[in-house]
């Protein structure tokens, strides 16, 4: 399952039980394998092979055997394809046999794309324990909520025990402080036994600044391009073939050996490849091949900040064939409208007239002028259906990269929070929740790290302070290196009955149930929207979902702080965001009107059985 012209690298078992080590190190004339047993070390020389590869075989090797490489009699370095760093980024690697894990997935065959309801979580702050195994204890609650897939922020080994994950330096090795490779396999297995898919956030545009030794081995990076976070990977320059294979081997590891249901590719706009077959296309092909062997689909979702539909278009049409793309326009439009913020990129968003285009055409910036960028930006989504785009109202980036790292619940009142949730969950796109938003978590999500290099720590501290001090009128930014900053980000995981939190979580649960049951919400092709009474007085957004008239869902969003009239046209009232069960006002009032910032969904009897439909419009419990 690798390119025949690029030998497999890393430490892996052979059919006869021996272990083979292979490393690509064209910048070294001599490479030694360092086998470590306690305080003793052996340094057998590795046999050179064509193309800058070196190999060594040994029998009687157990899982956990520590090892490292020495290049030209230099210091010991971890394996560039290490699967396990039990002692940290700078320490020796450990032999792992991931194929020996005893999977018991109870017939799991994956999920179709249209069924994805993503739940983004950070392992370290999702629970007090901050481990893969601890995440398992909350999976039943996520299943009950209606999430169908967890999206795990990056877990590639990073310095120390605390990090967002985007500073990882060993892309093949799950973070040791989270529970390492065995803990991650247990988490994926537990998700599949509960009918939950698992997607992993991966970073193929750069490595972190500490513990990155790849440049000593070979031309992993290019001088022609740089990302905002460091040198770019060499995908198209001299000696790039083994680098491309290194990336594709990582894809095969997560989809094949860890049985992930997909990958979220970080910042694909910062992956540079001018070759005739873009690395993104090859990533999708590698993922599909690995998933096909397991009898399931693989979902490759790109974060791309240029509103470029080519990522999703088929190779026959000149695209890369990825499955879905983040649409930040949705977040920016909702956030700017409800908060009134217009700084930075929010200057292009926030008007009520944005919403019909957002519903019907996906991108707002689709080739039109962007004031923030001072030029035209983006391209039309064309005939791509709504389930090719992931939308959100909160993410780790949009919360954590604010000056105060406030969540939405700390910025807007409950009625607006319910409206934001309704816009997200009734939109004709794939929704992604950021951990805790379903009950209105108000603890911040600061940027945090635990670098070991003191100079790097000071550089990060001063950089964050300079970046945000002006926005906070000189206030001191939370110290990213402090453990207290990290601890403040742990979820409260609390929604006591009778509180606004309980009502908000009930709203999320009800609407996620509706997404599974109402035919119109499973139709991502037919979507229409308009402003009422008209665009000159945009008080109400009227969105229509569904292609069959008898299955149409009519959704009205009051975009004002005033009561607005509502003509139900004889349709059944299926949902009201300001119902008492969600923390709104008394249900007996205002049945023929829209309360301030209220969302109301109307449909025919056929959308749902009478009893189930009534449960959304009354105080009775929504069927699970």
Paired sense of beta strands 572-576 and 564-565, if any: unpaired
Considering Cα of 238, then 241, then 242, then 245, what sign does the dihedral take? positive
What band does 608 get if pLDDT is binned at 50, 70 and 90?
low
What mean pLDDT comes out for the span 510-526? 97
What band does 604 get if pLDDT is binned at 50, 70 and 90?
confident
What does the pLDDT look like over 476-492, one tens digit per residue?
789 999 999 999 999 99
Give the pLDDT of residue 245. 98
Give the pLDDT of residue 105. 95
What does the pLDDT look like over 151-171, one tens digit per residue?
999 999 999 999 999 999 999
What mean pLDDT comes out for the span 521-546? 97
What does the pLDDT look like over 198-236, one tens digit per residue?
999 999 999 999 999 999 999 999 988 889 998 999 999
Task: For residue 115, give the nearest of 517, 509, 392, 613 by alpha carbon.
Answer: 517
**Three-state secondary-structure class, residue 330:** helix
What mean pLDDT comes out for the span 94-121? 97
How far the first Cα of the chain sits from its last, in Å, is 42
What band does 590 get if pLDDT is binned at 50, 70 and 90?
low
What band does 7 get if pLDDT is binned at 50, 70 and 90?
confident
If you average pLDDT over every residue of the chain, what do you get? 94
Q: Does domain 10-100 have CATH number 2.60.40.10?
A: yes
What mean pLDDT comes out for the span 6-12? 92
d(CA 165, CA 155): 6
Q: How many CA atoms lie within 13 A of 503 on its CB side?
A: 19
What fold is seen in the domain 520-617? Immunoglobulin-like (2.60.40)
What band does 464 get if pLDDT is binned at 50, 70 and 90?
confident
What DSSP string describes 486-509?
HHTTS------TTSHHHHHHHHHH
> Looking at the predicted structure, is the pLDDT value of residue 599 above 50?
yes
What's the CA dihedral at 437, 438, 441, 445 to 10 degrees?
Answer: -30
Give the pLDDT of residue 65. 98
What band does 550 get if pLDDT is binned at 50, 70 and 90?
confident
What mean pLDDT comes out for the span 341-367? 97
> Looking at the predicted structure, is the pLDDT value of residue 622 above 80?
no
What band does 610 get if pLDDT is binned at 50, 70 and 90?
very low
What mean pLDDT comes out for the span 85-99? 98
**Three-state secondary-structure class, residue 142:** helix
What band does 473 get if pLDDT is binned at 50, 70 and 90?
low
Identical fold between 10-100 and 520-617: yes
Active site residues: 266, 303
> Looking at the predicted structure, is the pLDDT value of residue 624 above 80?
no
- Element of type H or E holding 291: helix 279-292
d(CA 223, CA 96): 33
Task: For residue 166, give the nearest of 85, 266, 305 by alpha carbon.
Answer: 266
d(CA 607, CA 623): 15
Q: Considering only the top CATH level, what class is 113-487?
A: alpha beta
What band does 621 get if pLDDT is binned at 50, 70 and 90?
very low
What does the pLDDT look like over 360-414, one tens digit per residue?
999 999 999 999 999 999 999 999 999 999 999 999 999 999 989 999 999 999 9
Q: Are 418 and 584 in contact (CB under 8 A)?
A: yes
> Looking at the predicted structure, is the pLDDT value of residue 605 above 90?
no
Q: Which own/partner pairs from 530-538 qualify as long-range (CB within 8 Å, at least 24 positions apart)? A: 530/356, 531/352, 531/353, 531/355, 531/356, 532/556, 532/564, 535/353, 538/352, 538/353
Annotated domain spans of the chain: 10-100, 113-487, 520-617
């Amino acid at each position: 399952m690798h390119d025949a012209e690029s030998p497999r690298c890393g430490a892996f078992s052979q059919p006869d039980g021996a272990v083979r080590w292979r490393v690509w190190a064209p910048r070294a004339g001599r490479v030694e394998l360092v086998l470590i047993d306690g305080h003793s070390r052996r340094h057998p020389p590795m046999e050179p092979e064509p193309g800058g590869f070196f190999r060594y075989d040994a029998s009687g090797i157990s899982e956990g055997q520590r090892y490292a490489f020495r290049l030209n009699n230099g210091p010991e370095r971890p394996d560039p394809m290490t699967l396990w760093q039990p002692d940290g980024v700078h320490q020796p690697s450990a032999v792992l046999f991931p194929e020996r894990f005893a999977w018991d997935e109870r017939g799991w065959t994956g999920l179709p794309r249209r069924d994805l309801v993503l739940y983004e979580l950070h392992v370290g702050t999702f629970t007090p324990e901050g481990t893969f195994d601890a995440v398992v204890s909350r999976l039943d609650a996520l299943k009950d909520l209606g999430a169908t897939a967890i999206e795990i922020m990056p877990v590639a080994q990073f310095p120390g025990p605390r990090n967002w994950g985007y500073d990882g330096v060993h892309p093949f090795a799950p973070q040791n402080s989270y529970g390492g490779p065995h803990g991650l396999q247990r988490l994926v297995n537990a998700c599949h036994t509960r009918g939950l898919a698992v997607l992993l956030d991966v970073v193929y545009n750069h490595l972190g600044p500490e513990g990155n030794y790849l440049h000593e081995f070979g031309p992993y990076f290019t001088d022609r391009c740089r990302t905002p976070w460091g040198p770019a990977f060499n995908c198209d320059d001299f000696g790039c073939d083994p680098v491309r294979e290194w990336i594709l081997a990582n894809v095969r590891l997560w989809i094949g050996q860890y049985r992930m249901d997909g990958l979220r590719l970080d910042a694909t706009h910062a992956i540079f490849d001018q070759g005739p077959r873009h690395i993104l296309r090859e990533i999708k092909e590698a993922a599909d091949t690995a998933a096909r062997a397991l009898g399931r689909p693989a979902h490759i979702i790109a974060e791309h900040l240029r509103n470029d539909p080519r990522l999703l278009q088929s190779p026959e049409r000149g695209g890369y064939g990825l499955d879905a793309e983040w649409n930040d326009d949705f977040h920016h439009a909702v956030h700017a409208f409800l908060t009134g913020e217009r700084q930075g990129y929010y200057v292009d968003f926030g008007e009520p007239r944005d919403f019909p285009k957002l519903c019907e055409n996906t991108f707002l910036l689709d080739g039109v002028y962007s004031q923030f960028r001072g030029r035209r930006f983006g391209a039309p989504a064309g005939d791509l259906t709504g389930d090719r785009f992931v939308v959100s109202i909160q993410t780790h980036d949009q919360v954590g990269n604010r000056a105060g790292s406030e969540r939405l619940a700390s910025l807007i009142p409950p009625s607006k929070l319910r409206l934001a949730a309704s816009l997200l969950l009734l939109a004709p796109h794939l929704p992604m929740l950021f951990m805790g938003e379903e009950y209105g978590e108000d603890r911040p999500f600061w940027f945090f790290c635990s670098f070991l290099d003191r100079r790097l720590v000071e550089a990060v501290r001063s950089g964050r302070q300079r970046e945000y001090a002006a926005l906070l009128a000189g206030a001191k930014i939370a110290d990213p290196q402090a453990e207290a900053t990290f601890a403040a980000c742990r979820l409260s995981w609390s929604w006591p009955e009778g509180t606004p939190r309980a009502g908000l979580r009930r709203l999320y649960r009800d609407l996620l149930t509706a997404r599974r049951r109402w035919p119109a919400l499973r139709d991502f092709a037919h979507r229409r929207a308009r402003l009422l009474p008209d665009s000159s007085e945009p008080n109400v957004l009227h969105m229509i979902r569904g292609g069959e008239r008898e299955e149409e869902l009519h959704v009205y969003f009051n975009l004002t702080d005033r009561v607005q009239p509502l003509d139900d046209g004889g349709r059944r009232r299926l949902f009201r965001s300001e119902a008492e069960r969600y923390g709104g006002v008394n249900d007996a009032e205002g049945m023929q009107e829209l309360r301030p910032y209220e969302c109301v969904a109307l449909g025919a009897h056929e959308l749902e059985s009478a009893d189930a439909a009534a449960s959304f419009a009354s105080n009775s419990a929504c069927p699970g």
